[in-house]
Structure 1
Amino acid sequence: MRYHQLREDGAPRLAVETADGVYDLTAAKSRLRSFDDLLSAADIADQPIDAIADRLLADAATLSRETIDERRSGPPVSADEIWAAGVTYRISEKARQAESSKPDMYIDVYENDRPEIFFKATPNRTVGPDEAVGIRADSEWDVPEPELGIVLARGEIVGYTVGNDMSSRSIEGENPLYLPQAKVYDRCCSIGPCVRSADSIDDPHDLEMWMTITRDGEVRYDESTTTAQMVRSVEELTEYFVAHNAVPDVAVLLTGTSLVPQEGFTLQKGDVVEIGIEEIGTLTNTVVEV
C-alpha cells in the first residue's frame, strides 16, 4: 500500500493507494488525517499499518489518480528528524574521493564495519513533492542525491519513501569537517511522493532507481541504477542509527546514493529534479537558491 498526504479546503487528509484504487481514509475515520495518525493507531491496536487501513477501505470514499496529484501536500510523513547514510555505494565513495582534499577517509568508511550516518534535516528544512529544494548561495558545486528512504516508527521499519539529499560538494570537498554545512540548510531535503508500506515491498535491496535533471526543457542528466548495488542492508543501517541514540518516534533514514552527476555539473535555479524508485513513485522538485 502507498500512503499519500493530501490537503482539502486547508485541512490535511490521508489517502491510501492499493492495487484496486485510491481511497480517502479520513472519510472513513475523521481523526485519521496523517500517516503519523495511522502509525499511532497501529501502535495502539498492535497491528500493522496495512491491516488498519484495510479495515477502513469499505467505508472510505474513492479518489482519482488526478486528485492525488492535485491535492498532494508536503512530505508524506512528518518525520521529527531525517538522518542519512553515506558511502554505501561504490560510486559515491569514488565521488566523495574525487571532491575531497582528504580522499582516503572515504574508502575507509566504504570498507569498514561502521557506516557513515549523519544528521540531515528537521521538519522545517524538509520539503515534499512539487516543492522547491535549495542550493546554497555560498556554494559553487551543488548536486541532488537520490536515495531510498527508510521510514521508522519507534526505531522499527514501517515503510519506504524516495529521498533527495541535497548536497554542496564544494563545501564538503574543501574540508570534511564542513559536512554539516554542506548537508544541513534551508530546503536541503525532500521526501515523497508517498510512503510505501514495508510489508508491501518484497525486497528493498532490489529496486530500480533513476534520476532526471531538466534545465530549460532540456534533459541534462538521465541515469538509473538499482538498490542491489548498496553494500549495506536497510536492517544494518537501521541498527546503527538506533544504537545508543535517542531516536524520535517518527524518523526517516536515507540510505545513500549511487547516481552522481559528472564532475563539473552543478544545479542551477530553475532546474527540475525527478527521482523515481520502483514500487514507490517519482519525487519531483524545482531548484531555488537559499
Structure 2
Amino acid sequence: MRYYCTVEDGKRRLVAREGDDAYDLTAARPSVTAFDDLAHVADVASETVDEVAHRLVAEAASVPVPDETDAAMPLDVDEVWAAGVTYEISEQAREAESGMPEMYLDVYEADRPEIFFKATPSRVVGPDEAVGVRGDSKWDVPEPELGIVLHDGDIVGYTVGNDVSSRSIEGENPLYLPQAKVYDRACSLGPCVATPDAVGDPHDLEMTMTIDRDGERLYEEGTSTGEMVRTCEELVSYLTRHNTVPETTVLLTGTSLVPEEGFTLEAGDRVDIDIERVGRLSNPVTTV
C-alpha cells in the first residue's frame, strides 16, 4: 500500500491507497493521522504496516485517491540523514566542484559509505511547499533521492526526497558540508510512504526529475536506482551502527541526476521528482 496524509477542515487524515482504491484510516481510528502512527501500532502488534492497515480498511470510509500535489507531509519525521557518493555520476560531479577531488573517489570505492545529517523536522517541507536555496550561495541544485523510512531502525517504507544543496559552498571546502546541506527548507519529502510490498525491489526503480522556470523546461533526465553502488540495507546498517536513531527517521540514499555545471536553482523554479511505484514529489523554490 501507499499512505498519504490529507488535510480536511484543518485536521490531518491518513489515507491508504491500494491500486485505484483509497480508504480514510483516520475515520476508523482517530488516533492514526500519519504513517508513523500506523508504524508504531504495527511494531507493538508485531505485524507489518500493511497488515494493520488491512484490518482498518474494513471499518474505513472509501475516499477519492489523493492528489499528490495536494497531499500533506505523510509522516512526522524526527530526523533526516543522507548518504553521499552512492552513484558514479555523483562522485564525478563532486570531484568537479571540489578543490580536493580525490577524496570523493576514495569514498565511492571505500567499504564505509558517506553518511551525514541532513535535517531536523523544522527544516523539512512537504509536497507543494517551497524548498529553499541559500542567499549566500551561488550554485544550488536539487538532488532527487529514494528515501528509506525507518521505524526504530527497521525499514518500513520508502518515500521521495529532495536533498537541496549548495555546490558552491561545499566546493570551497569539504568541511563546509553541513552549511551546504543543513539550512531552512533544505529538504522535502513525500508525497506518500510506500511499503516494501508496494515497492518490491528498491534497487530497480525508475527515477526522473524535471526543473521548470517561467513555463520553460530547463532540465529533464531519468535514471534507475539500479545504478546505486550500495544497497539500502547496507546504508541503513552504517547509519544505525553505534548510533541510536529516533523512532521515525528517513535516510536519503544519494542521487544520480545532476544538472550540468553552470545550472543553478532560482526562486520561482519548480522541481518535480518521480520515483516508480512510490510517487511524484513537486516543490517550488524560494530563497532563504
With normalisation by structure 1, the TM-score equals 0.98
2: CA distance, partners of 1:160 / 1:70: 18
**Aligned ranges for residues 251-266 of structure 1 at < 5 Å?**
251-266=249-264
Give the residue type in structure 2 aligned to 1:285.
N
Structure-2 residue corresponding to 1:97 = 95
Report the secondary structure of 2:283's partner residue: strand
**1:72 — aligned with what?**
71
Amino acid at match of 2:9: D
Where does residue 163 of structure 1 map in the other structure? 161
Counterpart CA distance in 1 for 2:43 and 2:28 is 19
What is the identity, as a one-letter code, of the residue corresponding to 2:23?
Answer: Y
TM-aligned CA deviation for residue 101 of structure 1: 0.7
CA distance in 2 between partners of 1:69 and 1:261 (Å): 25
Give the structure 2 partner of residue 82 of structure 1. 80
Q: Determine the C-alpha separation between the residues in 1 that align with 2:69 and 2:255.
A: 29
- 2:280 is matched with 282
Percent identical pairs in the alignment equals 63
**Over the residues paired in the alignment, what is the CA RMSD in angstroms?**
1.0
Cα distance in 2 between the residues matched to 1:279 and 1:265:
29
The one-letter amino acid of 1:21's match is D
Q: Distance in 2 between the 1:139 and 1:20 partners?
A: 43
2:70 & 2:209 partners in 1: Cα distance? Answer: 24
> How many residue pairs were aligned?
288
Structure 1 residue 200, shift from structure 2 partner:
2.2
Aligned partners of 2:186 and 2:20: how far apart in 1?
A: 35
Give the SS at the match of 1:248.
coil
Aligned partners of 2:69 and 2:282 also within 8 Å: no
Aligned equivalent of 2:224? 226
Deviation at 1:35, TM superposition (A): 1.1
Name the CA shift for 1:267/1:48 in 2 (closer, same or farther; >3 Å). same
**Counterpart residue identity of residue 239, structure 1:** S
Q: Could you say what secondary structure the match of 2:58 adopts? A: helix
Deviation at residue 96 of structure 1 after TM alignment: 0.2
User: How far apart are the structure 1 equivalents of 2:70 and 2:268?
Assistant: 23
**Cα distance 1:275–1:71, how it changes in 2: closer, same or farther (>3 A)?**
closer
1:162 & 1:31 partners in 2: Cα distance? 25
Deviations 1:64-92 (A, max 9, x none): 13x5447522x211110000000000000
2:125, 2:189 within 8 Å by CA — same for their partners in 1? yes
Match of 2:125 among 124, 127, 141: 127
The reply on whether 1:203 has 2:192 as its aligned counterpart is no
Query: C-alpha separation between the residues in 1 aligned to 2:168 and 2:101?
Result: 14
Deviation at 1:20, TM superposition (A): 4.3
Cα distance in structure 2, aligned partners of 1:271 and 1:163: 17
> C-alpha offsets along residues 179-225 of structure 1, whole Å, 9 cap, x if unaligned?
00000000000010000001222200000000000000000000000
Compared with structure 1, are the counterparts of its residues 288 and 20 closer, same or farther at alpha carbon in structure 2 (3 Å cutoff)? closer
Note the C-alpha offset of 1:54: 0.5
- Offset, 1:261: 0.0
**Cα 1:193–1:141 shift into 2, 3 Å:** same
Match of 1:50 in 2: 50
Give secondary structure in 2 for the equivalent of 1:31.
coil
2:163 maps to 1:186? no
Q: Deviations over 1:128-183 (max 9, x none)?
A: 00000000000000000000000000000000000000000000000000000000
Q: Report the counterpart of residue 106 of structure 1 in structure 2.
A: 104
Unaligned runs of 5+ in 2: none
CA distance in 2, matches of 1:151, 1:267: 27
> 1-side partners of 2:69 and 2:230: how far apart?
36
- Which residue of 1 is the match for residue 4 of structure 2? 4
Which residue matches 1:33?
Answer: 33
- Residues 88 and 110 in structure 1, CA contact (< 8 A), matched pair in contact too: yes
Shift of 1:57: 1.1
* Inter-partner Cα distance in structure 2 for 1:13 and 1:68: 14
Give the Cα–Cα distance (whole angstroms) in 2 for the partners of residues 114 and 149 of structure 1: 19
Amino acid aligned to 1:210: T
Specify the SS of the correspondent of 2:44: helix
